[in-house]
Structure formats: structure tokens, C-alpha cells
């Protein structure tokens, strides 16, 4: 796939944008006119810079309101176009994007439109240039790529072609089958954007809500497949108007963009027919372990929270200050080493989750996928007798270890040979989900990370009311729901999530939810060992009884244990929470009875209960 991105997609000054675009691995970039107008560099200098960076200038854009004008506006538009050809020559591109007209002066007569495009094509051809006609979804007379294509086809001029932009076509829900009529040699460039499905005006939706392929809800796989099928082999160019991206880091947005095009190439939701030679997304069968970085003091505190939940320290590392805590098939690792990544993590963030081990069947394939997406591998020094576990950088600089079956067996037996206590009764049977909290600016980036690397699907985004602001929440899940992450992005500075980020000095794991087959048994055992649990107000239970018509006795049993409840049809969800450890990480225990969600309805109750416990220094 030939990759390109419009400079409008990225923050900063034009020269900095181009550097970020080149560093992320793109082959080309579209120069957005406003970026050039506001640059201190001339078009010639930008052109030279692009050549030095190895970037093709794929298009100059946009040229607005060309066709259907009365005189004298028409003559002026053509003069303006000639001037742009000079700029394009300096930039080193032969292609200009012409948007379908939005001018109230434009006449919608089809023959006039064709005649104007032919005239423009003649002028372009004289200068060795070409123009690509794009139907804006809010164009005054041409707002549909089918209409734009029929005009381009009938104009029948070698310098006049079509620009397809997924936003305009998919916002209008134009079927991908309509692309089959387009001739590949007439499709001059393809612009790509995803977006959430919203009910709003096209212009506002397009200018503020576009996102990278995979981050939104447009059916891009079918659309891209239809374009490949006609034999198109030109550039796929991201064009993402989004205020959040323009407020973010240029290099991160550029890398995300590159990653998203690679995802599109291989298929976002299902493998693309054309992508056989690309490393596919990784299947993962479970969370093998979660590792905490902690000082000894913090490790004691953490241990005191884990025991009531049924965990015991069962083994010690052969030569490191690292303890394995287990329960049934669940593994937690507490790392108190005075050096290495875990220690650095503890110094920066305080006691927290520094790594997650994912069970994957094929580690080399996983690393190949990570490389394709430019996800950073993490290589740490391994002593000669140590078992190396490959890893990549995840949320907040934490690691995602990739653990295959051979490593799993060797890792525990070889690295943790010194037994400590026997295991207790297994109350909890698995990791249900891991919740990670981040700034809202990073939210879409991490969504793309998980969806690109792992064979996971996203659930719809929900907004959760925190006592001090809104939090965006969205889950990613493996097809069999063996691994689930929930991502939470705070939209308000005072929300509990934001306080977490401030307190944590960055994004990270805010809670770990364990699965159990009997929540009452798990809660009773935890309470018997004096678990520090989150108290839920009585009002909640009065409402619960009224809302679901639950047996009052069941409601009393839940109230006595601080268990929250949700229901979806016949499916039921029970959950309880511990208080936060080191003011950062807390634990949840859930029992699912065919329930697929995360109890979002209870999140405001939980957040308010946590806010009541907030440590005084955070005020």
C-alpha cells in the first residue's frame, strides 16, 4: 500500500508536520493549503524539504468553488487556479484537489460543470498538471461520489480524474458497490478517514469528528475492498480533521496514522483478501500474569489486599526480589527489585502495574505484527541464565509480555523455584478485565494499539458520569472474551480518572477485575479476612429493588456485602470493589451470568463512593 497523509491531520507548523510524517514511515503527504500559507518557508523550500525527507508530495489541496460560476467570478477562479499551478510546481506535485462547489453563486447545470472541468483540465494539461474532483458531502450541487464520477467520466479529459474520500461517501451511506463502476485510471487519489456514526450536519461531523481507520464506526473494510477490486494502486491518503489530534503530539498522531493505514491494508474487522502476505493480528488466549512494581513497604500493603481475595505468595524468584502470588490459574507478580524497569516504574509512578503478560500461541508472528505497526519492542538486558520474554511497550510505558506455551512452563518452573506458602482455596477463577485510564487525547491512540496488534473487537463507547466530570469508556475484547481491556479517557480535569493520571504521573492500570463463579462466597471469604472494601450507599439498594423487582432478600444479601448489580435481559452481573491500593490501583470481583458488559450503569455509584474516600492531599 502506498501511504500518504494530509498535513491538516497533524498538529504544529508545516515543517514539523512533515518531519513527523516522514519519521512515521509515510511515503507521501498532501499539502493542505492553509498549512503552506501559515508557514515561514516558501513552496520551493517545502518542496525541497519533502524531497530531502523522501516524501512524495501526493497532492495540493483544496481548491474550492471552481465550477458553475457566473462571470466575473468564473474568470477569477480560473486565474486563481493558474496561480496554484505555480505553487504546485514549486512543491513538486502535479495533482490538485478540486472540491465540489459550495458557492451560492454556482449553477448546478451538469453541462456547465463538465465544461468548466474540461476547461480546467486543458489548463492543467498545458502545465503538466492534473486535477482530482471530490464530492464534498455538503457540496451545493454535487454531494455524492456517484455524481462526481459520472461528471468526470463524461468530461473525459486525461487531466481530470476523481478523488474518493471515505468520509463523504460513508457519511452519506453510499453503498461500496457503487465503486465498481469507477475506472482505476481515473481515480487519481483515495482519501481515508473513519468517524463515529453521529446524527449531525455533514460539515461539522467532517471537520471535528473524523478519526483514524479502526477508531470509528464506518464500514471501511468493504469500502477499501471495493477500491482494490477495481485495480486501484495509487496512494491511500489519510485526511483526518479532528481537533483532538491537532492538539496532540505530531509524532504520535503520525505513527497512529501510519498504523491505521496498515490496519486498513490487512482488514480492520476481517482479514482483507489482498493481505495474505501481511502478518495478521495476534490471537491471544488469556492474561498469563500481571506484574506490579513496588517497594517492600508497598508490597506488604498490596499483599494485605490480595490475601482476602484468596491470593497467596507461593514462590520466590531464583535470584531476584520478586514474588509470585497465585490462586488457581491466576498469577500476579510483585517486583521489588532495586533496579531494572520495574524499579524505574516504581520511582516514576509509585507502586503500580508495570507489565501484563499475554498468552499468545505464536510469539514470532506477534513480533512481526508489532513491527508492521511500528509498535516499539522492549529489549531488556537478560542474564545468561534468565529466561527472556519478548515484550512491547504498552499504555503509560508499561510492558506487554508475549508468552507462548513453552515460555509459560519454563518461566514459572525455572524462574520461581523457591516455594513459599501453599495455595489457598480458589475463590477467583480468572482475570475478567483490566481497566486502564488515560488522558482523553491518548484514548483513541491506545484503542488503535490494541485493535491493531491483537485480534480484538471494540464495544460501543459510553460516557460515564464521574462526580467531577465525564469519562469516556470503551472496551476491547478478544472474540471469545478471554482478554478484555477497558479504556477510560477523562474529559475533565477534576474527574477521578484525571486525579488518577496526576497521581500516577501518566496513564496506567487503574483496576483489575477478577472473575468468580460465586460472588457471595468470594465476598464472604474476603470480608472474613477484613478486605478493605468499597462501601455502597443504601439508596442504591432501594433503587435496585424497585428497578428490577428483585427478591428483597437477595437485595439485602448484596447490600450487606457491597455488591452491585446489573441486568441485560435475563443476563445478570454482580460486582464488588476493594478500596484503592497506594491510592492508585483497586480490585474488582465479578460474577457474570451470561452478561457481556461491564456494569457501566454502576460506574457513577462506584466513582462517587471512591470520591468520598479521596485522600485529603488531592483536594
Ligand X SMILES: O=C(O)c1ccc(O)c(O)c1
Cα distance between the two ends of the chain = 51
Among 24, 36, 50, 97, binds ligand X (CB under 6 A): 97
Closer to ligand X by CB, 116 or 239: give it.
239
Report the C-alpha gap between 346 and 567 in whole angstroms. 39
Q: Which three cell numbers stand for residue 144?
A: 455524492
Report the C-alpha gap between 282 and 364 in whole angstroms. 10
Residue 99 binding target from ligand X, Mg ion, none, CB below 5 to 8 Å by type: ligand X
Total number of residues that touch ligand X (CB under 6 A) = 11
Number of C-alpha atoms within 13 angstroms, CB side, residue 164?
Answer: 31
Task: Tell me: is residue 511 an annotated ligand-binding position.
Answer: yes
CB of 169 to ligand X, least distance (A): 11
- Residue 166 touching ligand X (CB under 6 A): no
Q: Which three cell numbers stand for residue 63?
A: 481548491
- Pairing, β 286-293 against β 235-238: unpaired
Q: What is the CA radius of gyration of the chain?
A: 28
Closer to ligand X by CB, 190 or 411: give it.
190
Among 19, 206, 335, 473, binds ligand X (CB under 6 A): 206
Bond before 203 cis per omega within 30 degrees = no
Residue 501 binding target from ligand X, Mg ion, none, CB below 5 to 8 Å by type: none
- Collapsing DSSP to helix, strand or coil, 454 comes out as strand
Closer to ligand X by CB, 136 or 607: give it.
136
Task: Tell me: is residue 327 an annotated ligand-binding position.
Answer: no
Q: Which residue in the shown chain puts its C-beta closest to ligand X? A: 62
Phi/psi at 292 (nearest 5 deg)? -105, 145
- Pairing, β 571-577 against β 462-466: unpaired
Residue 58 binding target from ligand X, Mg ion, none, CB below 5 to 8 Å by type: none
Report the C-alpha gap between 489 and 438 in whole angstroms. 5
Task: Tell me: is residue 65 an annotated ligand-binding position.
Answer: no
Closer to ligand X by CB, 93 or 352: give it.
93
Report the C-alpha gap between 87 and 33 in whole angstroms. 10
Q: Which stretch binds Mg ion (CB under 5 A): 25-33, 186-194, 335-343, 442-450?
A: 186-194
Question: Which residues is 24 bridged to in the sheet?
Answer: none
Closer to ligand X by CB, 253 or 558: give it.
253
Residue 179 binding target from Mg ion, ligand X, none, CB below 5 to 8 Å by type: none
Residues between 98 and 127 that touch ligand X (CB under 6 A):
99
CB of 265 to ligand X, least distance (A): 21
Give the x/- contact pattern for ligand X in 56-85, rule: CB under 6 A: -----xx-----------------------
CB of 236 to Mg ion, least distance (A): 13
Report the C-alpha gap between 40 and 19 in whole angstroms. 15
Total number of residues that touch Mg ion (CB under 5 A) = 3
- Pairing, β 312-316 against β 418-419: antiparallel
Closer to Mg ion by CB, 179 or 589: give it.
179
Q: Which residue in the shown chain puts its C-beta closest to Mg ion? A: 165
Residue 62 binding target from Mg ion, ligand X, none, CB below 5 to 8 Å by type: ligand X
Closer to ligand X by CB, 14 or 97: give it.
97
CB of 142 to Mg ion, least distance (A): 13
Residues between 237 and 256 that touch ligand X (CB under 6 A):
239
- HEC profile of 512-537: EEEECCCHHHHHHHHHHCCCCECCCC
Between CA 370 and CA 377, with CA 374 as vertex, the angle to 5 degrees is: 60
CB of 151 to ligand X, least distance (A): 17
Report the C-alpha gap between 378 and 375 in whole angstroms. 10
Among 76, 80, 207, 318, binds ligand X (CB under 6 A): 207
Task: Tell me: is residue 134 an annotated ligand-binding position.
Answer: yes
Residue 256 binding target from Mg ion, ligand X, none, CB below 5 to 8 Å by type: none
Q: Which stretch binds Mg ion (CB under 5 A): 67-75, 198-206, 231-239, 324-332?
A: 231-239
Burial label for 407, CB within 10 Å (0-12, 13-18, 19+), is: buried
Cα of 132 vs its chain's centroid, Å: 31
If residue 289 lies in a helix (H) or strand (E), which one and from where to where? strand 286-293
Residues between 148 and 167 that touch Mg ion (CB under 5 A):
165
Phi/psi at 428 (nearest 5 deg)? -110, 145
Q: What share of the chain is helix, strand, coil (3-state, %, to 5)?
A: 40, 25, 35
- The closest alpha carbon to 7, from 32, 44, 33, 43, belongs to 32
Phi/psi at 192 (nearest 5 deg)? -125, 135
Q: Which stretch binds Mg ion (CB under 5 A): 142-150, 183-191, 278-286, 366-374?
A: 183-191
Task: Tell me: is residue 191 an annotated ligand-binding position.
Answer: yes
Q: What is the dihedral sign for C-alpha 219, 224, 225, 230?
A: positive
Give the x/- contact pattern for Mg ion in 190-209, rule: CB under 5 A: -x------------------
CB of 168 to ligand X, least distance (A): 6
Closer to ligand X by CB, 131 or 515: give it.
131
- Residue 165 touching ligand X (CB under 6 A): yes
Report the C-alpha gap between 584 and 586 in whole angstroms. 7
Residue 505 gets the label, from left (phi > 0), alpha (psi -120 to 50) or beta, of left
CB of 186 to ligand X, least distance (A): 17
Report the C-alpha gap between 435 and 458 in whole angstroms. 14
If residue 2 lies in a helix (H) or strand (E), which one and from where to where? strand 2-6
- Residue 194 touching ligand X (CB under 6 A): no
CB of 239 to ligand X, least distance (A): 5
Binding site for Mg ion (CB under 5 A): 165, 191, 239
Q: Which residues are annotated as a binding site for Mg(2+)?
A: 433, 511, 588
Binding site for ligand X (CB under 6 A): 61-62, 97, 99, 134, 136, 165, 191, 206-207, 239
Amino acid at each position: 500500500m502506498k501511504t500518504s497523509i494530509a498535513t491538516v491531520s497533524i498538529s504544529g507548523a508545516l515543517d514539523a508536520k512533515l518531519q513527523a510524517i516522514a519519521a512515521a514511515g509515510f511515503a507521501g503527504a498532501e499539502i493542505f493549503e492553509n498549512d503552506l500559507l501559515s508557514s515561514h518557508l516558501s513552496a520551493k523550500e517545502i518542496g525541497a524539504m519533502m524531497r530531502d525527507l523522501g516524501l512524495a508530495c501526493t497532492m495540493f489541496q483544496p481548491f474550492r468553488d471552481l465550477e458553475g460560476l457566473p462571470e466575473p467570478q468564473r474568470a477569477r477562479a480560473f486565474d486563481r487556479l493558474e496561480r496554484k499551478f505555480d505553487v504546485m510546481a514549486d512543491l513538486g506535485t502535479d495533482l490538485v484537489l478540486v472540491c465540489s462547489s459550495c458557492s451560492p453563486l454556482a449553477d448546478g447545470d451538469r453541462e456547465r460543470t463538465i465544461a468548466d472541468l474540461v476547461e480546467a483540465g486543458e489548463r492543467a494539461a498545458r502545465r503538466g498538471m492534473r486535477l482530482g474532483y471530490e464530492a464534498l458531502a455538503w457540496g451545493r450541487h454535487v454531494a455524492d461520489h456517484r455524481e462526481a464520477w459520472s461528471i468526470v467520466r463524461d468530461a473525459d479529459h486525461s487531466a481530470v480524474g476523481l478523488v474518493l474520500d471515505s468520509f463523504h461517501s460513508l457519511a452519506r451511506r453510499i453503498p461500496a458497490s457503487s465503486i465498481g463502476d469507477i475506472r482505476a485510471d481515473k481515480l487519481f487519489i483515495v482519501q481515508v478517514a473513519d468517524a463515529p456514526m453521529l446524527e449531525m450536519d455533514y460539515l461539522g461531523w467532517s471537520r471535528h469528528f473524523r478519526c483514524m481507520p479502526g477508531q470509528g464506526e464506518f464500514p471501511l473494510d468493504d469500502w477499501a475492498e471495493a477500491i482494490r477490486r477495481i485495480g486501484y494502486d495509487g496512494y491511500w491518503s489519510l485526511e483526518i480533521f479532528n481537533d483532538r489530534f491537532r492538539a496532540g503530539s505530531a509524532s504520535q498522531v503520525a505513527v497512529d496514522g501510519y498504523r491505521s493505514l496498515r490496519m486498513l491494508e490487512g482488514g480492520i474487522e476481517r482479514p482483507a483478501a489482498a493481505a495474505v502476505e501481511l502478518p495478521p493480528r495476534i490471537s491471544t488466549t488469556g492474561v498469563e500474569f500481571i506484574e506490579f512494581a513496588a517497594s517492600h513497604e508497598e508490597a506488604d500493603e498490596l499483599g494485605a489486599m490480595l490475601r482476602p481475595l484468596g491470593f497467596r505468595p507461593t514462590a520466590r524468584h531464583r535470584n531476584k526480589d520478586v514474588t509470585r502470588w497465585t490462586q488457581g490459574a491466576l498469577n500476579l507478580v510483585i517486583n521489588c527489585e532495586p533496579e531494572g524497569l520495574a524499579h524505574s516504574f516504581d520511582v516514576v509512578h509509585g507502586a503500580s502495574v508495570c507489565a501484563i503478560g499475554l498468552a499468545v500461541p505464536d510469539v514470532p508472528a506477534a513480533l512481526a505484527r508489532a513491527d508492521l505497526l511500528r509498535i516499539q519492542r522492549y529489549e531488556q538486558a537478560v542474564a545468561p541464565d534468565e529466561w527472556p520474554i519478548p515484550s512491547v511497550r504498552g499504555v503509560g510505558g508499561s510492558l506487554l509480555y508475549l508468552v507462548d506455551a513453552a515460555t509459560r512452563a519454563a518461566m514459572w518452573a525455572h524462574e520461581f523455584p523457591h516455594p513459599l506458602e501453599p495455595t489457598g482455596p480458589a475463590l477467583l477463577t480468572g482475570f475478567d478485565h483490566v481497566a486502564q485510564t488515560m488522558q482523553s487525547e491518548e484514548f483513541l491512540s491506545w484503542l488503535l494499539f490494541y485493535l491493531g496488534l491483537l485480534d480484538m473487537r471494540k464495544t460501543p463507547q459510553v460516557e460515564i458520569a464521574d462526580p467531577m466530570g465525564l469519562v469516556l469508556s470503551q472496551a476491547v475484547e478478544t472474540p471469545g472474551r478471554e482478554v478484555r481491556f477497558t479504556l477510560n479517557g477523562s474529559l475533565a480535569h477534576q474527574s477521578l480518572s484525571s486525579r488518577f493520571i496526576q497521581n500516577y504521573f501518566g496513564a496506567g492500570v487503574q483496576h483489575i477485575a477478577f472473575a468468580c463463579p460465586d460472588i457471595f462466597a468470594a465476598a464472604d471469604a474476603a470480608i472474613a479476612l477484613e478486605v478493605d472494601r468499597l462501601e455502597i450507599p443504601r439508596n442504591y439498594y432501594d433503587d435496585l429493588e424497585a428497578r428490577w423487582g428483585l427478591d428483597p432478600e437477595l437485595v439485602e444479601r448484596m447490600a450487606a456485602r457491597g455488591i452491585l448489580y446489573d441486568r441485560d435481559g435475563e443476563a445478570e452481573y454482580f460486582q464488588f470493589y476493594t478500596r484503592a491500593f497506594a491510592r492508585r490501583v483497586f480490585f474488582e470481583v465479578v460474577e457474570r451470568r451470561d452478561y457481556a458488559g461491564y456494569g457501566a450503569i454502576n460506574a457513577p455509584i462506584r466513582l462517587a463512593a471512591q470520591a468520598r474516600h479521596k485522600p485529603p492531599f488531592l483536594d
